Amino acid sequence: MSDRPYVTLSCAMSIDGYLDTTGPERLLLSNAEDIDRVDQVRSENDAIMVGASTVRRDNPRLLIRSEERRAARAAAGLPLSPIKVTVTSRGDLDPDAAFLTTGDAQKIVYTPLARARRLDERLRGVATVVGLRERVTMSDLLRDLVTRRGVHRLMVEGGGTLLTQFLAEDLADELHLVIAPIFVGEARAPRVVTSGAFPWTASHRARLASTRQIGDVVLVRYALSDRFDPYHRGELVKNIRDTAPLEAR
Ligand SMILES: NC(=O)c1ccc[n+]([C@@H]2O[C@H](COP(=O)([O-])OP(=O)(O)OC[C@H]3O[C@@H](n4cnc5c(N)ncnc54)[C@H](OP(=O)(O)O)[C@@H]3O)[C@@H](O)[C@H]2O)c1
């Protein structure tokens, strides 16, 4: 068994590389068709992860929306939606947040050991709190997910602080980057990544796996590891759909 799950990073950004604005409203970057694609990718993963700031700012439910996909998961003996995972060092998570209170699957909150007891008391009954050493690293977290929680496929949906760690530590297998046709233009808004030393540079470029127009946005898929699986079920389903008219001829 590998010491980490297969990791898919997924996010939507503006043309100028921002994940959000600094304003009070959540920024809508995606469109309905792309939101449905994300729902499909979610349904193919064992767990979905976001950072604690995203839980606080967006209050996402992170559930599978499509009835068919939920039914397919139920038929396969899976929870209707994947396990939800987050990480916090401050422990500032509201036990009533939709992330923690919705869905039938387990919610796991990683935090440094020193913070775990108090957070466990705060979130008792809504989440499993896991303390990991002095500082939570993504490699420790991934090892715990695969060895102790049975998570073999993890989808990481941001924000930028989290994406930065997976990328800089070379712990991701693929990146799904959606580019929306808008500009944010605010230097203080969250970017798709923060500063970091990334493995992909001018002399070591990431491998472009595919591009796809989805209405007014573009999905760019990068292969980031040798484990990259082009026949990931989501892509297979799409390919079968794309080739069906030809076969019918
Ligand atoms: N467009 C998109 O696809 C998309 C997707 C997701 C999010 N977003 C946006 O991105 C913004 C949030 O991004 P962000 O970069 O500010 O935050 P983030 O990545 O969502 O969360 C960062 C927080 O996660 C916790 N954290 C991260 N790494 C940790 C580690 N190794 N150990 C312990 N805790 C750790 C910390 O929480 P504590 O502060 O609790 O210690 C940290 O402040 C929001 O505006 C959201 O709307 C956009």
Q: Whose C-alpha lies nearest to ligand 1, atom 7?
A: 159
- pLDDT the model gives residue 119: 98
- Name the band, by pLDDT with cuts 50, 70 and 90, for residue 236: very low
Residue 17 φ then ψ, to 5°: 85, 20
CB of 87 closer than 6 angstroms to any ligand 1 atom: yes
**Which of 15, 87, 94, 130 gets mutated to test ligand 1 (max ligand atoms within 8 A of its CB)?**
87
Amino acid identity of residue 132, one-letter, is L
Q: 8 - beta bridge partners?
A: 155, 174
Helix, strand, or coil (residue 170): coil
Statement: the pTM of the whole predicted model exceeds 0.85: yes
Instruction: List pLDDT tens digits, range 62-101.
Output: 999 999 999 999 999 999 999 999 999 999 999 999 999 9
Contact 145, 3 (CB under 8 A): no
Helix, strand, or coil (residue 209): strand
Instruction: List pLDDT tens digits, range 16-59.
Output: 999 999 999 999 999 999 999 999 999 999 999 999 999 999 99
**Which of 31, 59, 89 gets mutated to test ligand 1 (max ligand atoms within 8 A of its CB)?**
89
- Name the band, by pLDDT with cuts 50, 70 and 90, for residue 233: low
- pLDDT the model gives residue 114: 97
- Name the band, by pLDDT with cuts 50, 70 and 90, for residue 234: very low
Q: What is the DSSP letter of 86?
A: E
Distance 73 CA to ligand 1 centre (A): 28
The residue among 248, 225, 201, 237 whose CA lies nearest residue 72 is 237
Contact 174, 221 (CB under 8 A): yes
- pLDDT the model gives residue 230: 80
- List, in sequence order, the alpha helices (H) in the chain: 32-43, 52-58, 67-75, 98-101, 113-123, 138-148, 160-168, 233-248
Query: If 0-12 CB within 10 Å is exposed, 13-18 middle and 19+ buried, where does residue 148 land?
Result: exposed
